[in-house]
Amino acid sequence: MSSGLMRSAPGGEPSPYYLAPSENFSLYQGDCIELVSQLGQEEPFDLIFADPPYFLSNGGVTCKGGRMVSVHKGDWDRSRGADGNHEFNLAWLEACQQALSDNGTIMVSGTHHTIYSIGHAMQQLGFKILNALTWVKPNPPPNLSCRYFTHATETILWAARDKKAKHHFNYKEMKAENGGKQMKSVWTFSPPRKAEKRFGKHPTQKPLPLLERIIRAASDPGHRVLDPFNGSGTTGIAAIRHGRRYVGIDLNDAYLDLSVQRYEELVGDLPDERDLPLVANS
């Protein structure tokens, strides 16, 4: 655990694993369902990005660097069976829904192994689904069995808290980024670059440019952003780079420490971390 900046939270609130001096970047260790419910009580979140378990760690293999390797990511990724997996998705999504601001939105990434459960759970809970975004991976791992199409995409479901929500969307910024044309729901991003894994990596780490677009599209500087499955902290890095306030949750202290290293590298060149500018772009 990173030592110097941990602080105790006032009155009954959970204590952070790490809290930056500006208090704009905080990490918590523990069960996301319990912590999300507590952390969203006093000030709700404007945007949540979640990359929940895909439940793939069940003895399968994949291709990496031309070699066959296990896809086991950890016990947290073991399948609980279709019903158990869906119950888990319902539970954490309900906690996130209650922690969102009235006009807040959530984006959830997943493959076909879990995204249909996510979408069904959103419908059951009364979310308003806004888009099904497709992330295209230009150079995916080959399919070893040669009996399927190569898995080259992930889906990101974007939903508002409920049908009454007036969700936030930086339409003009996205249109400008797309050369003056409306941005489509199909995005192409390469996997995380080597520099993004300088301090270590997470088995489902997302590329920073992907998270930066999500942050910029669905929130404004100063908004409060949550990632209930923090992992390597990419959502937090994207949020801080663009002037948002970040809260991340994870069970694994190694990944929390990795997130701290990435954050401290980001702000290390500043004379005072509290001088980190609020920016719309970088």
The answer on pLDDT for 62 being more than 90 is no
Please tell me which residue, 144 or 275, carries the higher pLDDT value. 144
Note the pLDDT tens digit of each residue in 174-196: 999 999 999 999 999 999 998 99
| Domain region containing 111 | 26-275
Report if residue 16 sits inside a domain. no
The number of folded domains in the chain is 1
Report if residue 281 sits inside a domain. no
CATH of the domain at 265: 3.40.50.150
Per-residue confidence (pLDDT) for residue 202, from 0 to 100: 83
Structure token pair of residue 116: 């249909």
Report if residue 11 sits inside a domain. no
Per-residue confidence (pLDDT) for residue 78, from 0 to 100: 60
Per-residue confidence (pLDDT) for residue 201, from 0 to 100: 82
The answer on pLDDT for 248 being more than 60 is yes
Reported as a pLDDT band with limits 50, 70 and 90, residue 89 is very high
Note the pLDDT tens digit of each residue in 218-233: 999 999 999 999 999 9
Per-residue confidence (pLDDT) for residue 281, from 0 to 100: 40
Among the ranges given (73-77, 167-171, 274-278), the one the predictor scored with the smallest mean pLDDT: 274-278
The answer on pLDDT for 255 being more than 50 is yes
The set of residues, in sequence order, having a beta carbon less than 8 Å from that of 88 and lying 6+ positions away, is 53, 80
Report if residue 48 sits inside a domain. yes
Per-residue confidence (pLDDT) for residue 221, from 0 to 100: 97
Per-residue confidence (pLDDT) for residue 184, from 0 to 100: 98
Note the pLDDT tens digit of each residue in 111-120: 998 999 999 9
Report if residue 239 sits inside a domain. yes
What is the C-alpha to C-alpha distance for residues 204 and 207, in angstroms, rounded to an integer?
Answer: 10
Report if residue 4 sits inside a domain. no
Report if residue 1 sits inside a domain. no
Phi, psi of 24 (to 5 degrees): -90, -5
Please tell me which residue, 282 or 220, carries the higher pLDDT value. 220
Per-residue confidence (pLDDT) for residue 282, from 0 to 100: 36
The answer on pLDDT for 4 being more than 60 is no
Neighbours of 113 (CB within 10 A): 14
Report if residue 21 sits inside a domain. no
Structure token pair of residue 217: 């599209």
Sheet holding 25-29, edge to edge: 18-19, 25-29, 245-250, 224-227, 45-50, 100-110, 153-160, 128-136, 186-188
